[in-house]
Amino acid sequence: MAERLAADGTAVVAHYSSNAAKADEVVAAITTKGGHAVAAGGDVADETAMGALFDTATEHFGGIDVVVNTAGIMPLGPIAEMDLATFDRIQRVNVRGTFVIDQLAARQVRSGGAIINFSTTITRLQNPSYGAYAASKGAVEAMTLILARELRGRDITVNAVAPGPTATPLFFEGKSQQVIDHIASLNPMEHLGTPEDIAEVVAFLAGAGRWVNGQTIFANGGAA
């Protein structure tokens, strides 16, 4: 997504939690092609750290026009068996983290800008073992729609993208090849989505899609 937005001429701050090396790779990929990018770290649920992240964007590029909030974790387990510490960790990253970013974005994104959160198609599929994760993303969708209405008159769009199964490290983690193949076969396209597929939806919402506001866009190949 960072590289796709940079290709449209957007200067990018690539955020990371702990993997600075990966963020540096993204920055290098963008700058090698003539784009503008810097990396900055921090805990997405820590308002002070994220305030510093937003300050980095303003200091380097003069202001903030687009915020894409993809940070999330997905530990799985049946509701009856999941320990509450894991549940709390999911909600801290996925719900509080989104709230912190949306709060800062609502204060700082300039007129004509876009705020893009991330939900999941699991909120429709409702698969067993995804209860805590789906609950967190249901909260993200609710925040997204309400923030769009709270920003009335600001000319800022607020939407959520809800990917289906997508070929990312988060998706592959803990799954056998048999399980991966089965999940990939469930949608009418009969394959996993790619990060590039999702990046195109984000680029649309960040750019030409100005009449799309207060929506959750399901990008899942027809899985739900």
Asked if pLDDT for residue 157 goes beyond 80, the answer is: yes
On the question of pLDDT at 171 being above 90, the answer is no
Q: What mean pLDDT do residues 105-130 have?
A: 96
What's the pLDDT score for residue 170? 75
Residue percentage of the chain with pLDDT more than 90: 94
Other C-beta atoms closer than 10 Å to the C-beta of 80 total 6
173: confidence class by pLDDT, cuts 50, 70, 90: confident
Q: Give the mean pLDDT of 117-142.
A: 96
Share of the chain above pLDDT 70, in %: 100
Q: What is the mean pLDDT of residues 109-134?
A: 96
Q: Which domains does the chain have, with CATH numbers?
A: 2-218 (3.40.50.720)
- Residue 51's Cβ-count burial label (10 Å; 0-12, 13-18, 19+) is middle
CA angle 64, 167, 171 (to 5 degrees): 90
Q: What is d(CA 137, CA 128) in angstroms, rounded to the nearest whole number?
A: 15
Predicted pLDDT of residue 110: 98
> Which pair of structure tokens corresponds to residue 13?
């701050």
Is 16 one of the annotated active-site residues of the chain? Answer: no
Quote the mean pLDDT of the chain. 96
Q: State the average pLDDT over residues 132-136.
A: 98
Note the pLDDT tens digit of each residue in 32-90: 999 999 999 999 999 999 999 999 999 999 999 999 999 999 999 999 999 999 999 99
Strand order in the sheet with 216-219: 64-69, 109-118, 157-163, 216-219
Q: Which residues is 160 bridged to in the sheet? A: 117, 216
Record the tokens describing residue 26, joined without a space.
């993204």
Q: What was the pLDDT predicted at 174?
A: 81
Can you list the alpha helix ranges (DSSP code H) found in 110-162? Answer: 122-125, 131-150
Q: Whole-angstrom Cα distance, residue 53 to residue 32?
A: 23
Q: Whole-model pTM?
A: 0.95
| DSSP element (H, E) containing 100 | helix 97-108
**For position 224, what pLDDT does the model report?**
76
Beta strand segments in 27-178, E: 37-41, 64-69, 109-118, 157-163
Residue 19 token pair: 């993997």
Across the range 95-114, mean pLDDT stands at 98
Identify the residue with better confidence: 168 or 197. Answer: 197
Catalytic residue among 74, 133, 215, 221: 133
Residue 134 has pLDDT above 80, yes or no: yes
